[in-house]
A and B are shown apart, each in its own frame.
Chain A
Amino acid sequence: MENNAFDRAFEEERLKKTISLAKEQLSALRAKREEKEDEIVYLKKEMTEVTAHSIPNLWSTDNFYDLVQLSQYANSVSDKAAGHDHESNKIMTLERIIDSPYFARIDFKFDNKDAAENIYIGLSTLLDEQTYKIYVYDWRSPVASVFYRFTTGKVSYEAPAGTIHGEVSLKRQYEIKDGKLEYFFDADIQIIDEFLRLLLSKNASPSMKSIVETIQRDQDIIIRDMETDLLMVQGVAGSGKTSVALHRAAYLMYKGLSSNLSSNDIVIISPNTLFERYISNVLPELGENNVDTVLFEQILRSVLKTEDIQSRNEYLECLLTSGDKKYRDLLKSSMEFKCSDKFTGILKRFITELPNKRIEFSDVYYDGKHIETRQLLKMKLLKQNKGALLAFRLEQLEKSITESIHEKRKMRMKKLSSIISRQPVHVFEAEEVARMLSILESTALIKNIRKFTRLDCFSLYKELFADKNSFYRLAKGIKLPDNIEEIINFTLKNLEKDRLQYDDALALVFLNLKTKGYTDYAGIKQVVIDEAQDYHPIHFEILNALFSKARFTVLGDVNQTIGKHEDISLYDRLRNILNRKKSALVTLDKSFRCTSEILAFSSQFLDSKSGIRSFSRSGDVPKVIAAGSPSALDDLIIEEISTCQEKGYRSIALVCKTEQDSISLHERLKSRTDIRLVKSGTVIDLSGVFIIPVYMAKGLEFDAVLLCDVDNRHYNSEDDKNLLYIACTRALHRLNLFYTGDKSVLLQ
């Protein structure tokens, strides 16, 4: 809709006033601070001068008054310094307000008032200290909840003084950057997607407006759902899944704040480090401190307490770059098997038989007496509560053994002392020497006991594969892959290495959680998982064990998998593993990010053409561009980059198949244009020109994409088809593909 001139002038004026107030406060604060800084320096100086003489003999009672004097100076310095920190925060907040003071407004008429008030909502409160007029309300304040929770009409919200009733006549959203009002629009519901917002701010036709509102309504249902324990969202590329996930986190946090839960109760499981940066761009309310973003690899590292673990990206790089097809197939089938519910089934049986079959108890002797026999120890363990974790049960067993040792220690010490006292060498240190002997023998004893009371998951895991007979016994009734022998041998070989393979690390974490438990995440109430299609059953088993009391929001797209095949049954499997009381699956099938041309082009890589509905926004048709030689290819790419830059695109991505390809392309181009390379673990701002491997580009979006090396050597299999689909759907406005040599068969 067109903003009418009157509204526009009103909003411009209002923005100007708000910013000038913030600027006024800022300069007053800065002046005051300078004054204070001088004061602190002066006080510190005075303190050393006045009290220096008294410090050496401060603690004698005569100098009590010196001590008092010193502490008076010190107190006033530290008070002032604390005030100083507080003001630094305030200055930062004001600077942020001047940049973008608010993002929404509601016109709210309190039931007991005649006129509606304009309530502007922003990241923090701005108050005119003279008139007490609030220019901006903090988005966490009670009245702001109306914006998040209601459409226009009769509303109510909880305030410290009780329930407040009123009526909302307008909901307006703004885009303000660098203190300038870029656009605003009115909509009944909050429009969260930057794209949809931009659409609405321009001359959107009524039909367009209604489409946007339906999309938003679909998303809104997901964002605000509080009933479901497990909410699964299947959304096609460009349907706004990620922004939905983030807004759901914000909404849940919002609800959490009003019921006094801390924001740390929410965790987002994200695929890579790039994602974290993206989050703060999409949704400023979420800020970095407010929600924990956890990489799956971080979970593996903290449970296993080691850094020597292959990351998922390293695994994918191995899989994508290896020229040896047999090796590639083995890598893939090993990963597939060890992440499957078949293998977790075997692991579960293995864990059940640990107490009975795998723990090697031994007799315990102390002071020449037999205190426990191995049979008795095993019986004690088997008699314990089977619901408790095995590690805990063993700990109890160890405690009962040490307790009976403690009872006999007095006698033992007597014996040791009498032996010592018969040796004249030790006559002056008899007590110490006897104690030393006791410590030495007790150390040896406890080390022996711990051979069976402490679980070593790594050796147990190795044993599982080394003892092939019992492996097959445990797998009875489970259909194993044809190359299981090969997988077992491959695993045994890998376990000899210092660095754990990604799939073995997952299995080990599973084993650890099921025998020892892990409590670091026990307080988490909400878990949001993005890119769920990349996870296997074992991932969900692990998440379920870690966040046993949490509600889950799971988002994914079964068409965007890398290195595995997936279909809609993913969600059924997920439902079985996470096993929550109330679960629901929602489908987002309207893709509105890419132009229809890009979407049409990308859909050639999908097996089923159904599902995706495009949103009428058109652009250039993607081209597949051939170059006669590698150097001609580079020229064409450079040319395309400058075309994109002329068109004003802010993020331009050169997508390669692997990190190796990215590195070599970067080497070739870096002297010719300003270009950055994105590697595992890098966190950069996603604007400018950069080179990125396709598996890292997942979940991200760029104004323009140049997909490089679409020759037949790089892209020829079913798995590669998925990669092409992912790479192409990253583009919002412009997509072109480049190759030299033979064109990929997938593009015919």
Chain B
Amino acid sequence: MSAANKVLVIAEHDNRQLKKATLCTIRCAAQLGEVHLLIAGSGCAAAAEAASQVEGVAKVLCSDDARYAHPLAAALAPLVTSVAHGYSHLLAPATTFGKDLMPRVAAKLDVAQISDVIAIVSPDTFKRPIYAGNGIATVQSRDAIKVLTVRATAFDPAKVGAGGTALIEALAPIDVPAHTRFVGQALAASDRPELTQARVIVSGGRGLGSAENFHLLDKLADKLGAAVGASRAAVDAGFAPNDWQVGQTGKIVAPELYIAVGISGAIQHLAGMKDSKVIVANNKDPEAPIFQVADYGLVADLFQAVPELTAALG
């Protein structure tokens, strides 16, 4: 957009490859100017190598050090701010990684942070949803450095292996504060795709009635190669874990096919899934608000409809 703009994308990765949300952020960044990528990790050379071949990436800054074995905001913020002044924009995906890190970076730089950007209007003007997506605000930044988190569902991922071979530059690690210690991680083990990366999502609400009944959705999800999601009401009721939550305060998803089962369709849930390409709703209440956004609505008892649908998919 302008030759003067230089954009640093803070990569979320697993040391081997970039997360899809990072690729979407790169696509967004490319609309602003020349894109550099910062990869901080431990044993992350493979991720840096993969990143150097992503479309639109001009340079990769790689800080490979045991200090960055875990992506802690307190450890990464000093590294990001140490290179920030060479850039007009700092971007990260609006995942729990980016949401944790970027406000800390912005405050250190004494600039605003702009969350969940869904469109670039100009290098200083951006669109973002507010009030659970009931409004789309266009905001203009008056700061010298713009710090953004990017909603991945609003941008297609940059092509992997399609770029040239960007220069990989080693970046020296910086002392990390002693006040934070990583204790452990418990990632949900699942053969299913991640919610934010899935092509198909089967999501359950309070209508499922119990955690046991959520297994009904497993069978359907298995048939479709789908991820399983849940409404906040279902998480609140203890039927499903919080990392399944789709909505304003959970994950934002936009799969090709979203099947909402026993979900009434509170605005907070719609905020997380209404950009899905095709929405199917199954609810026994014909007045459920979910039907107002569904492409295909099935008014039926889910305990009959879901097994029938699972069987029909052969």
Do A and B associate with each other? no
